């Protein structure tokens, strides 16, 4: 079998697709759940670190900067492997799902903190002074005046970074997480046919294409008018 027929048989085999489509769907649902957990926890932790950094406590700032730089420098795959295989030596066993979630959360936290911090720094100093003139202390000024502006500034770069990190859920297949790529690779191994990988690619498009379109809308919606 050669030519177009061979290509269709290899990548669009209807029998293999019917056999392994349920597994790909299960992987898609697991990927959605993992991505949601990563986004929620990573953004929340990043915002908390940026707020703490805004307090200007030098020792804490140094610790935050060091932590953020470490997790920005480490590749997510290396971090997943270190957590999955290294933490058991310290008495903390994590499943592949837990290791992937923790690693991607730490990476997103690091980038989110820098983006939030850049947004806070971009707010004119006069906004802080206006809060003090109204009799507001540091935290009320930050919460009511500075953060709403900083978050609006941070939304466009944060959207792109969040999308990039959530696509890293595919790295979970390295530690036996049966998300989309893991399910597709397993199906390809058992069937001896790459059609499950085609199904996996379609599943990623179904999942992330709407996310990319929504991200573009969010960027347009929240960018500052010129």
Nearest to 31 by CA among 160, 168, 158: 168
CA dist., res. 30 & res. 38, Å (int): 12
The whole-number average pLDDT for the span 164-170 is 85
pLDDT of amino acid 73: 93
Domain assignment present for 8: no
The whole-number average pLDDT for the span 172-177 is 82
Domain assignment present for 6: no
Domain assignment present for 9: no
- 145 vs 129, residue with greater confidence: 145
pLDDT of amino acid 72: 93
Q: What percent of the chain is predicted at pLDDT more than 70?
A: 96
pTM: 0.86
Tokens of 143: 């919460």
pLDDT tens across 109-127, in order?
A: 999 999 999 988 888 887 7
pLDDT tens across 26-39, in order?
A: 988 999 999 999 99
pLDDT of amino acid 226: 45
Q: What is the CATH number of the domain that holds 106?
A: 1.10.3720.10
DSSP string, 138-186: HHHHIIIIIHHHHHHHHHHHHHHHHHHHHGGGGGGGGGT--SHHHHHHH
**Residue 113, domain extent:** 20-222
pLDDT tens across 78-103, in order?
A: 999 999 988 888 888 888 899 999 99
- 14 vs 114, residue with greater confidence: 114
Domain assignment present for 169: yes
pLDDT of amino acid 102: 94
pLDDT of amino acid 2: 61
Rounded to a whole number of angstroms, the CA Rg of the chain reads 22
CA dist., res. 138 & res. 120, Å (int): 13
Question: Please, which residues have CB within 8 angstroms of residue 219's CB and are 6 or more apart in sequence?
Answer: 155, 156, 159, 160
Residues 119 and 150 sit within 8 Å (Cβ to Cβ): yes
Domain assignment present for 15: no
Question: Please, which residues have CB within 8 angstroms of residue 84's CB and are 6 or more apart in sequence?
Answer: 94, 96, 99, 175
Domain assignment present for 102: yes
Domain assignment present for 108: yes
Per the structure, the count of domains in the chain is 1
Q: What percent of the chain is predicted at pLDDT more than 90?
A: 31
Domain assignment present for 96: yes
């Amino acid at each position: 079998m050669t030519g177009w027929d061979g290509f269709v048989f290899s990548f669009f085999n209807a029998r293999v697709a019917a056999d392994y489509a349920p597994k790909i769907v299960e992987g898609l649902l697991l990927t959605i759940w993992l991505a949601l957990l990563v986004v929620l926890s990573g953004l929340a932790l990043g915002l908390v670190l940026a707020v703490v950094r805004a307090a200007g406590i030098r020792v804490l700032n140094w610790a935050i900067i060091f932590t953020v730089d470490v997790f920005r420098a480490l590749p997510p795959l290396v971090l997943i492997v270190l957590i999955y295989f290294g933490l058991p030596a310290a008495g903390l066993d994590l499943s592949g799902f837990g290791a992937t979630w923790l690693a991607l959360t730490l990476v997103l936290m690091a980038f989110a903190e820098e983006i939030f911090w850049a947004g806070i720094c971009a707010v004119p100093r006069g906004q802080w002074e206006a809060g003090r003139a109204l009799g507001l202390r540091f935290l009320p000024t930050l919460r009511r005046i500075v953060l709403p502006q900083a978050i609006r500034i941070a939304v466009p770069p944060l959207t792109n970074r969040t999308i990039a990190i959530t696509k890293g859920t595919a790295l979970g297949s390295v530690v036996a997480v049966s998300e989309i790529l893991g399910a597709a690779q397993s199906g390809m191994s058992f069937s001896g046919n790459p059609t499950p990988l085609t199904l996996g690619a379609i599943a990623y498009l179904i999942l992330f294409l709407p996310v990319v379109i929504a991200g573009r809308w969010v960027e347009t919606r929240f960018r500052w008018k010129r």
